[in-house]
Amino acid sequence: MKRLRAIPPARHYGEQLDALLAQNSAGETSALQKQRQTAYDRFMAQGIPTRRVEAWKYTDVTRLAEEVFRPVDPAGITPQTLADLPYCHDGDERLVFVEGILQPDLTQRPDTSPLKLSSLSSASESAPQEVPDNPFVALNGALWRDGSMLDIPANQKLDHRVHVLFLHAAHSDPSVIHPRLHVRLGAHAEARVVVTYAALGDGPCLNNAVLDVDLAEGAQLSLVQAQVLNEQSTHLGFTRITQGRDSHVASMDFHAGSALARHDLTVALDGEGASATLNGLYAVRDRQHVDCHTGIEHRQPNCSSRQLYKGILNDRATAAFDGLVRVHPGASGSDGEQVNRNLLLSNDCQANAKPRLEIANDDVRCTHGATVGQLNDQELFYLESRGIDPAAARDMLSRGFAEEVLYRMDDKALHADLHAILDSFFEASNERD
Amino acid sequence: MDAIADRPKTYKYGFVTDVETEKFPKGLSEEVVRAISARKNEPDFLLEFRLNAFRWWKEQEPPRWAHVEFPPIDFQDIHYYAAPKSMEDAPQSLDDVDPELLRTFDRLGIPLHEREQLADVAVDAVFDSVSVGTTHQDILAEMGVIFCSFSEAAQKHPELIKKYLGTVVPPRDNFYAALNSAVFSDGSFVFVPKGVQCPIDLSTYFRINASKTGQFERTLIVCEEGASVSYVEGCTAPVRDENQLHAAIVELVALDDASIKYSTVQNWYGGDEQGRGGIYNFVVKRGRCEGARSKISWTQVEAGSAITWKYPSVILKGDDSVGEFYSVALTNNRMQADTGTKMVHIGKNTSSTIISKGISCDQSKNSYRGLVKVTPGASGARNYSQCDSMLVGDGCEANTFPYLEIHNQGAVIEHEATTSRISDEQLFYLQSRGLDSEAAISLLVNGFCKEVFRTLPLEFSVEAVKLLEMKLEDSVG
């Protein structure tokens, strides 16, 4: 029997598209509606990939071909709900999407903010030029309900943080959101953007996000993406960063929560002297699964990239990291570093790593490394000899392992947020021990 | 021969030996498989083995996942059996072998007559599809070591062949393994009985001579409890504008406390500057550390072939078994290499080491692809991998595709890779000391590969260094 490389998606996806097109609540132009149809056709043509496809070797999403997640209408979120969320800070410029739709009454914007906000429904220019080979990006293109374009004009430096929150409210029926966001920084602009994907209830949900980021010459962006969905949820993320000359991105990619998470993060270093720092941390337990893919394209000379992705695995959790650094023929003076480290806390977890280098220029310095291992016995022994009980010692060392990534964030408040999320991860792990 | 004299000096083994060759007609069918088996007068189980493999192969598509490009191979445009005519009545000893053949191996630096040069190496010489002769058989026989051509083994030791053939690389392992299992023509068989340390290095020399042929040899090495052997393989082919397919299988079995060291110096013709001609070297090499404390070590120096596509692997089944892989892969002109290893940890406290050095020059592509897999039961597994690439010239590619699949907490796995070019500072320093640039580069490349070269048996280490120097001369000079 020939093993299939893709499975045809079920009818309900088409029904959702038809409903969206018929409803047209945002008064979309026919051009935009046509884009949706095209994206849908592409999704159907590609189908749901099986593990026979190399990029999906470690992540099985075939159940998405049949499983039905439906969009839900936003309700039940008040400003008080947000105030209770640990990762919402006063002073942030905040955009809140509930069930994928922007809520103006929850949005919080300083009067003086130079950030220009527009709806993607009207900004047709946001249509990505290059279509990635990913059916879920196509699905997002067909079924997204609302999205925003964030423009930071040239030479503007945002002092405050911009927090974009995509919320699944509490409900029990399987729901879906296709978050869509486009962030643009003009020349020499500076900004800090945090994108959070969260679920307030325990109900199953599908979060299929697409984030586009463009940096013009000399722009600087600190980007944090935190996925803290619930244990019933599926997260599919696609982030595409394009960088101009001498621009810099510092990205933090954080995953703790969903049953299954898959994130593709691609960075195109399209201008000479651009640099990108990608940090990532994933913590999984029970039967959670996370799969982080990074792809850095060194297209121009003298660009540099740094990647550090670390994973903590417990119980029967599985994780995969697939990182690619590609140096194109003209990109001399490229400097790439990629490191993936995994900490296994139980005997039943599985870590897979695929750090890849594709180099087509001789004037480069590229390295990568990957390690998988457990806590160091000698370190444990040392702590125990100082009177620390074994469980606490394990805890300390595991947190220290995570801290190597987290301390790279300049933002102290965010640093504390992510630590708080990790706390609950360790607590849940320790309860079982 | 004159036409070849005009060619660059790159490939000194590019000559054709003028011997009468007997070939089967082109194409592959059940008849051809049966005919090969009949020609070798094989026992029935081997014919069945071949036919099973062939029937499965017919249903399969050639794999395409490697990072190499080549036009589809027409498997019906290949002669699946070629042998020098003089071999028809199998020679009883080396004295009966066609002197032309002996001269060929002499020119290749592999004297089949037991003379001073490689006095402590026993050689099995394979010319196109058949084994021409095997040296030192008497010394080995005294120790109980069996070293002979595969065809001979099938006649004299069918029980051993039946027991071990296809146990490491099953016929349905993959497309090319099935093809080989159906049509393999000859190869070497080594059996080292319990407790015997094979006193001399064993070696097989493969030579493709006839045009439009494929070479499908099969090597099987078995080391019983406590035995050890060091085995070396070398290969060359004439310069031709066509591509020739070489799809071999090597199987190694190491029982308790056994140790097998397998070294390859591969120098098939790699095609010219425009990428015309050369050998497609699609080989399946795998060893199984069956017993506790067994050890299998692969060393390869890959300096030839238009396309190299192979992954010498070790299945670490026995507790405390050890797998090693040392590789230097040099590509120049338009050669392509996608090579690496697989280490599959199954037993407890198994360890593996991978050292891979890739050097790409000119317009070539050089990829390392490797898998380290630790299965749930393999507690205490340890792996260290290091893959370094060096680029010489800005038209080449160096890629690294490592896979780490770790299903056991107790495993300690480390992988490191670097990609760089020869540093100008180092070159300048050496040149300021009076070395010309060629010598300086050669010295630096040698240093880069040293970790691998020192694992080769001495004579081959010298050969490997020379081989690399020769290849680099044309690329850098």
Q: Is B404 in CB contact (< 8 Å) with chain A?
A: yes
Name the domain count of chain A.
1
Distance from CA of B392 to the nearest CA of A (A): 6
Tokens of A318: 């599985």
- Tell if the CB–CB gap between B411 and A373 is shorter than 8 Å: yes
Most confident of A104-113, A314-323, B466-475: A314-323
Q: Is A363 on the interface with B (CB under 8 A)?
A: yes
Distance CA B463, CA B383 (A): 30
Helix axes B175-183, B44-59, angle to 10 degrees: 150
At CA B270, angle to CA B264 and CA B271, rounded to 5?
Answer: 170
Q: Which of residues 419-438 of B touch A (CB under 8 A)?
A: 419-421
Any CB–CB contact under 8 A between A295 and chain B? no
B412-438: pLDDT as tens digits: 999 988 888 888 888 899 999 999 888
Do the domain assignments include residue A360?
no
* pLDDT tens column, A301-359: 999 999 999 999 999 999 999 999 999 998 999 999 999 999 999 989 999 999 999 99
Residue A165 lies in a domain: yes
Provide the pLDDT for residue B101.
64
Per-residue pLDDT at B240 exceeds 80: no
Tens-digit pLDDT profile for residues B276-310? 888 899 999 999 999 999 999 999 988 888 999 99
Where in the sequence is the domain holding A232, given as residue range(s)? 6-271
Note whether residue A423 is domain-resident: no
B407/A350 CB distance under 8 A: yes
Inside any domain, residue A184: yes
pLDDT at B3 over 50: no
Tens digits of residue pLDDT in A68-89: 999 998 888 888 888 888 888 8
User: In which residue are the tokens 């072939």 written?
Assistant: B305
For residue A373, the surrounding DSSP H or E stretch is strand A364-373
Q: Strands, E, within A229-259: which ranges?
A: 234-243, 248-255
Kindly state the DSSP code that residue A55 receives in the 8-state scheme.
Answer: G
Whether A358 is in a domain gets the answer no
CB of A267 closer than 8 Å to CB of A305: yes
| pLDDT of residue B197 exceeding 60 | yes
- Chain A residues with CB under 8 Å of B364 CB are none
Cα B231 to Cα B186, B205, B222, B267, B417: the distances in Å are 17, 11, 12, 17, 29
For residue A94 the two structure tokens come to 């905040």
Q: What is the chain B residue with the closest CA to A333? A: B420
Can you tell me the mean pLDDT for A394-399?
Answer: 92
- The pLDDT score that the predictor gives to residue B10 is 58
**Amino acid occupying residue A99:** E
Under 8 Å CB pairs connecting chains A and B tally to 114
Residue B1 in this model has a pLDDT that exceeds 60: no
Q: How far apart are CA A152 and CA A147, in angstroms?
A: 16
pLDDT digits (tens, 9 = 90+) for B113-166: 544 444 466 777 777 666 666 777 778 888 899 988 888 899 999 999 999 999
pLDDT in the model for residue B113: 56
**DSSP percent split of chain A into helix, strand, coil, nearest 5:** 25, 40, 35
Contacts of A359 in chain B (CB under 8 A): 389, 391, 397-399, 419
pLDDT band at B2 (very low <50, low <70, confident <90, very high): very low
Q: Which residues of B touch A346 (CB under 8 A)?
A: 409
Chain A partners of B476 at a C-beta cutoff of 8 Å?
none
Q: Which of A410-424, B313-327, B446-460 holds the top average pLDDT?
A: B313-327
On the question of pLDDT at A29 being above 60, the answer is yes
Strand partners, B156: none
pLDDT at B212 over 50: yes
pLDDT at B419: 87
For the cut 70, the answer to whether the pLDDT of residue B5 exceeds it is no
Residue of chain B whose Cα is closest to the Cα of A346: B409
Whether the CB-CB separation of B181 and B36 falls below 8 Å is answered with no
Q: Output the DSSP codes for A118-160.
A: EETTT-GGGS-SSPPS-HHHHHHHHH----EEEEE-TT-EEEE
Q: Is position A327 within any domain?
A: no
In a domain, A392, yes or no: no
| Residues contacting residue B34 through CB under 8 Å, at least 6 positions apart | B47, B51
Q: What's the pLDDT tens digit per position in A196-252?
A: 999 998 899 999 999 999 999 999 999 999 999 999 999 999 999 999 999 999 999
- Inter-chain residue contact A329 with B394, CB threshold 8 Å: yes
Q: Which residues of A touch B409 (CB under 8 A)?
A: 344-347, 349, 374
pTM of this structure: 0.87
Nearest to A367 among B401, B410, B418 (CB): B418
Sign of CA dihedral A104, A110, A111, A117: negative
Distance CA A9, CA B136 (A): 66
- Residues B346-355 have a mean pLDDT of 95
Q: How far apart are CA B360 and CA A73, in angstroms?
A: 58
Cα atoms in the 13 Å half-sphere on the side-chain side of A117: 18
Dihedral pair phi/psi, residue A113, rounded to 5°: -65, 130
Question: How far apart, in Å, are the Cα atoms of A279 and each of A58, A160, A229, A406?
Answer: 21, 22, 20, 8
- Least confident piece of the model among A65-69, B85-89, B296-300, B377-381: B85-89
Mean pLDDT of chain A: 91
